[in-house]
A = this chain, B = another copy of it.
C-alpha cells in the first residue's frame, strides 16, 4: 500500500512541476495535483505517527490534531486567500459526509463481509459521537438559526466566539483523552494497546514531515488556481468542487487506512479514523479556518440548509449504528445507501 503512494509521489511531484511550468491543460494538471496531494498526505500522516510514537501521547495528540488534516488545512488556506469561501465551507460538509457515510460505511461493509459481528469499545465511540453532536447541533445549527435575526457584524462576532469555544473544547477533549482519563474506559479483557514502534527515526520523520508539507503547500496553491478554470470547463459548481476536491483529496489516504483496519477487525482504530477525524475537522479545522479567514474575507461558519440537514442526518445515522458497540455488513450498506441518496440530491440541485 505504502509502495503505491511512493510511486504516485515519484511520478506526481515532477509531473506537477513540469506541467505547471509548461502550462499544460488545466484539467490534466488538476488530476496530477490531486493524485500528488493524496500521496503526500500519506507521507505526512506516517511521519506524524512516527513522531507521535516518540514524543509521547500528549504532544503526539497535539501533533496529530495539527498535521492530521494538514492537506485539508493547507488547501483551504489557499482557497481562502483566493476568496473561494464557498469551496471551503462546502469542503467541511464534504469531509463530514464522506468520512462518516462513505469511508465509515465502506469500512463497516468490508469488515462485515469478513467477520459476522465486529465489536468495539462503546464508551470511546460514544465520546466521539457526543463531540460530533456538539459540533453539529450546537456550533453549526445555532448560528444557522440565530444568524437570520442578527446584524452581519454581530454574526461575525458570534462566529469568532464560537470558533474559540470549539477550539478550547477540542483541546479539553484531548486533555481528557490523553491525560486525565487515559485508559479509564478500556473494556474488560481488552488489552491496553502497547505503544507501536515508530516507522521512522525522529530525525527522518521530521525531515519527511517538513519536506512533504512544503511540497504539499506548493502544489495546493497550484491546485486552488485551477479550481475556477476546471469548474468552468466541466460545469461543476463551487459546492460540488468543495465537496469532492478538498474533502476527498485531503482525506483519501485516511480512507484507505480505515478500510484496512476494519478488514483486520481493529474496529476501535477504524472508528477513531472515521469518526475521530470528523470531530477533528468540525471542532478544530473548521474553527481554525474561521480565525485564519480574518486575514482575507471573513468566513462565518454558516452553512446552507441542504448542507446542514445532510450533516445532521449523517450524524444521526452514525449514532444509530454505533450506539450498540456492534456492527455488521448491513449497517455498512445502510450508511453507503445514505451516502448514495445524498449524492443524488447534491447532484440534482
**A positions within 8 Å CB-CB of B:** 116-117, 122-123, 126, 129-131, 133-134, 137-139, 141-143, 145-146, 149-150, 154-155, 157-158, 161-162, 165, 168-169, 172-173, 176, 180-181, 184, 305-306, 309-310, 313, 316-317, 319-321, 323-324, 326, 328-331, 333-334, 337-338, 340-342, 344-345, 348-349
Residue in contact with A329 in the complex, picked from B133, B180, B349, CB distance below 8 Å = B180
A305 / chain B contacts, CB cutoff of 8 Å: 145
| Chain B minimum-CB-distance residue to A341 | B138
**B134/A334 in contact, CB under 8 A:** yes
**A324/B137 in contact, CB under 8 A:** no
CB-CB under 8 A for A341 and B181, given A122-B324, A150-B349, A330-B176: no
The CA-CA distance from A333 to B342 in the complex, in Å, is 34
CB-CB under 8 A for A309 and B341, given A181-B116, A320-B133, A348-B154: no
| Chain B minimum-CB-distance residue to A173 | B330
**A133/B306 in contact, CB under 8 A:** no
A331 / chain B contacts, CB cutoff of 8 Å: 130
A158 / chain B contacts, CB cutoff of 8 Å: 344-345, 348
A143 / chain B contacts, CB cutoff of 8 Å: 345
| Chain B minimum-CB-distance residue to A113 | B180
- For the complex of A and B, 7 pairs with smallest distance between CB atoms: A176-B330, A146-B345, A154-B348, A149-B349, A145-B309, A169-B337, A130-B320
The CA-CA distance from A24 to B333 in the complex, in Å, is 53
CB distance from A342 to the nearest CB of B (A): 7
CB distance from A111 to the nearest CB of B (A): 14
A133 / chain B contacts, CB cutoff of 8 Å: 316-317, 320
Residue in contact with A341 in the complex, picked from B165, B180, B313, B333, CB distance below 8 Å = B165
The CA-CA distance from A122 to B323 in the complex, in Å, is 12
A137 / chain B contacts, CB cutoff of 8 Å: 313, 316-317
**A329/B142 in contact, CB under 8 A:** no
A146 / chain B contacts, CB cutoff of 8 Å: 306, 345, 348-349
| Chain B minimum-CB-distance residue to A181 | B328
5 additional A-B pairs beyond A133-B317, A169-B333, beta carbons within 8 Å, are A133-B316, A134-B337, A145-B305, A154-B349, A158-B348
**A338/B176 in contact, CB under 8 A:** no
12 of the cross-chain contacts (CB-CB < 8 Å) are A130-B331, A131-B334, A133-B316, A138-B313, A138-B338, A142-B341, A143-B345, A146-B306, A169-B333, A169-B334, A184-B328, A319-B320
**A162/B341 in contact, CB under 8 A:** yes
CB-CB under 8 A for A116 and B184, given A305-B145, A313-B138, A321-B130: yes
**B324/A142 in contact, CB under 8 A:** no
| Chain B minimum-CB-distance residue to A326 | B123
| Chain B minimum-CB-distance residue to A323 | B126
A326 / chain B contacts, CB cutoff of 8 Å: 123
CB distance from A133 to the nearest CB of B (A): 5
The CA-CA distance from A149 to B131 in the complex, in Å, is 31
| Chain B minimum-CB-distance residue to A145 | B309
CB distance from A167 to the nearest CB of B (A): 11
| Chain B minimum-CB-distance residue to A305 | B145
A126 / chain B contacts, CB cutoff of 8 Å: 320, 323-324
CB distance from A69 to the nearest CB of B (A): 22
